[in-house]
Amino acid sequence: MNETLKSILEFLYRNKLEYFTRSNIEEQIPTVKKRAILNALSQLLEDKRIERRGQGSATKYIFSQAYHQSFREKLYIYQNQICIGYLGFDYEQYLFAYDTKYLIDTTHNAVFAMPIDSKTYTQGKCFVDFEELLPEGVDKKILIEKTGNATEFFLLANNNYSSNDLILSLEPLSFNKKIKTESYLLRKEKILGKNSFPNVYDLAVKLDETALFPSEFVSQEEVEKVRTISLSGYQHKLQVVIKDGSIGMPKEGEEVEYFIKPYHPQKADPNSAYYFPHIALNEHLHMSFAKNELGFDVPQSGLFKREGDKEYHYIIKYFDRYKGYKFQRKEFASYLGLHSDNKYNTSSEKLFLAPLYDIATTGFYNGIHNYESHLPINGKQTNIRLKDFLVLVKRANVPKKVFLERASFILKTYREKMPKYIKRISKLEESYFYKKERPNAQDRRVKIKEKVLLQEVMLEAFNERIEMLERNLWFE
């Protein structure tokens, strides 16, 4: 938004109950040409930011909120107690307009695909900046059931999936307790926290079966989708509060610093066609390794287990909040304009790195595509060689020498220290992995071939991975 528009809008907003002639406005910004002021007034009228009455030299202007009051359905959008704008829906298209007060402020902390401007944006699909706030998989299915409507606007209106950095409300909000603006870099260590591996929490669990295992809402098709598409987005997640030696659901307005990924009963059942066990332990191991050995920015993680549970549940600390202040986080997909239904259809060359929060290995699981990278690197997802990655390095403008030094450190650390992490699994309750025979045309039933300790299977997969890296010349 140009400075002339902003100056006029600010003057009329500060004096929102009064009418002003064009001459009054020209006196406020004497350095701007009259033609530019006239053009700016025309633009603000078109954008419904101001109204006018009278004609000719008697024309007067006044601040207006018609730009969002005309929305048929509307959600107020807040970030850290500040109204950013309004999301509208007229059953044919979505609309978005920035709040005028936010426009004229000097600081714009929200990062959206829509540039800061006085106009109203419209499009057929929900804007990716807001669509990404919705859960996926089973959690989205539950939200649809509760809402009684699968339209994204109404899902957003009823979404309490997590305390995102953005709050969308059907009504304007007021806040009793003012939060302090924080610096992420200054608070990063406290935000991310620390943990060793394995980090097992000894907690009294105040979570019921429905909260942990909402599998009655999941069709077989959905279960298979969780298994083959993603270890993150499609997993059930639940916000929790840890205090006084217990873990439970947050109360209304209570600050939340952790969420959990409960294990899925069908994936823990070796007799299930969707057997995909120990995701929590797998992810906790690799997250801890990346955090403690490779020096990546990774939030604190851990495990907990109730008596009778088949597997561990996974606990992760949010990396985007500190004492009530929430730092805006963005999915890569939103920067590329991709909606959740096709956000994985891109390439690594289009992405960049952010704080890690979801790492695991799929190398020892049967029946899935064991890609080395789900996103293609130089057009490849398997047998990725060093020269393929160098294409990505060049496109990302990373100095080759810097990359090779860092890659050498990561490879050496992985080869030397990962086996030690895997062997630490033995410190936990015995965790088994059931190997299965491959189905054939005569007998589609998958039979259990043998029962082995999880650490043995993971060590075997690790050794195979090292051999693959050596064949692809990564250690040269």
The pTM for the full model equals 0.81
Least Cα distance to 358 among 309, 407, 286, 419 occurs for 286
Stated length of the chain: 476
Q: How far is CA 289 from the centre of its chain?
A: 22
What's the pLDDT at 383?
81
Digitized pLDDT (tens) for each residue of the chain, 476 residues in all? 899 999 999 999 999 999 999 999 999 999 999 999 999 999 999 999 999 999 888 899 999 999 999 999 999 999 988 999 999 999 999 999 999 999 998 777 788 889 999 999 999 999 999 998 888 877 888 788 888 999 999 999 988 755 556 889 999 998 888 888 888 899 999 999 999 999 999 999 999 888 888 865 555 555 444 333 333 456 788 889 999 999 999 887 788 899 999 999 989 999 888 888 999 999 999 999 999 999 999 999 999 999 999 999 999 999 988 888 888 776 655 545 555 565 555 544 444 444 444 556 666 676 566 667 777 777 787 888 888 888 888 888 889 999 899 999 999 999 999 999 999 999 998 899 998 776 554 555 667 778 999 999 999 999 998 998 898 888 87
Q: Report CA torsion sign: 8, 13, 14, 19.
A: positive
Beta-carbon contacts of 248 under 8 Å, excluding residues fewer than 6 positions away, are: 205, 206, 207, 240, 241
Using CA atoms, how far residue 169 sits from 76, 157, 241, in Å, is 5, 6, 23
Q: Determine the Cα–Cα distance for residues 110 and 84; give it in Å rounded to an integer.
A: 8
Query: How many CB atoms sit inside 10 A of residue 155's CB?
Result: 21
205 by Cβ neighbours in 10 Å (0-12 / 13-18 / 19+) ranks as: middle
Contact of 13 with 100, CB cutoff 8 Å: yes
Assign a CATH topology to domain 3-64. Answer: Arc Repressor Mutant, subunit A (1.10.10)
Domain locations in the chain?
3-64, 71-169, 188-319, 361-476
Q: Report CA torsion sign: 223, 225, 228, 234.
A: negative
What's the pLDDT at 232?
43
What's the pLDDT at 337?
54
**First-to-last CA distance in the chain?**
53
Collapsing DSSP to helix, strand or coil, 176 comes out as coil
Query: How many CB atoms sit inside 10 A of residue 360's CB?
Result: 19
DSSP string computed for 255-291: ---EEEEPPPTTTT-TTSTT----HHHHHHHHHHHHH
